[in-house]
Amino acid sequence: MKISLEHIGRRFNREWIFRDINYEFGSGNSYAILGANGAGKSTLLQVISGSLSSSEGKISYLKGDKVIDQEKVFINLSMAAPYLELIEEFTLTELIDFHFRFKKYHKDFDRKSVIELLGLKNSEFKAIKYFSSGMKQRVKLALAFCSDTDLLLLDEPASNLDQQGLEWYLSLASNLSSDRLVIICSNQEQEYSFCRNRLNIADYK
């Protein structure tokens, strides 16, 4: 998959968050979008995901030689972010089953293996609302990584994770992202240290 940004800009009211971004993202590579809190990293990620329109410029998506409409790019992506809520009334089992009604499992995964990956066998029938913030973050990451998608978008992926959780996340990134296009928003180097490509949002103010 390839994503091309041409003169992309986004503003709220009269204030430009970023302007004139020209960049290309390609499958098999990992990218970090960097910047201070409030700099516009999450906004750019939402523009890339198609959930937010740009104020100027053009964004295009290619899968092989096929053009993907921006309205349909969600089919090809999975995402984990602090502002994406889980359905807290669902049990873990129900949430996994619900998620994978809309996404296919990544190869070699099913409900049982996702729960094993999470290390939450004893909580499979517990409602999500009773999970700790760290457990919820692990669930978000597992659903994203275990979905069979070409594009993986991660916003502050180590939020609420302890050191063990951070190492677990980095293991997911190492084992389940090699053939995908991975884009990470962060200002914590431990979250994106493996990314060879970096875009600093401050360069587009």
pLDDT digits (tens, 9 = 90+) for 163-174: 999 999 999 999
pLDDT digits (tens, 9 = 90+) for 30-52: 999 999 999 999 999 999 999 99
Amino acid at 60: S
Domain range list for the chain: 2-204
pLDDT digits (tens, 9 = 90+) for 90-141: 999 999 999 999 999 999 899 999 999 999 999 999 999 999 999 999 999 9
For 6-22, what is the mean pLDDT? 96
User: Are 180 and 150 contacting, i.e. CB atoms less than 8 angstroms apart?
Assistant: yes
pLDDT digits (tens, 9 = 90+) for 53-77: 999 999 999 998 899 998 899 999 9
* CATH of the structural domain 2-204, one choice from 3.40.50.300, 3.30.2020.30, 1.10.760.10, 1.20.810.10: 3.40.50.300
User: Does the structure show a pLDDT above 90 at 16?
Assistant: yes
Taking the whole predicted model, whether its pTM rises above 0.75 is answered as yes
Per-residue model confidence (pLDDT) at position 178: 87
User: Are 130 and 137 contacting, i.e. CB atoms less than 8 angstroms apart?
Assistant: no
Q: What percent of the chain has pLDDT over 70?
A: 100
User: Does the structure show a pLDDT above 90 at 187?
Assistant: yes
* Strand partners for 24: 4
Return d(Cα 191, Cα 34) in angstroms, integer: 11
SS3 content of the chain, % helix, strand, coil (to 5): 35, 30, 35
Phi, psi of 83 (to 5 degrees): -90, 0
In 3-state terms, what secondary structure has residue 125? coil
Which secondary-structure segment (H or E) carries 118?
Answer: helix 111-118
Average pLDDT, the chain: 96
Per-residue model confidence (pLDDT) at position 77: 97
Half-sphere exposure (Cβ direction) of 187: Cα atoms closer than 13 Å:
10
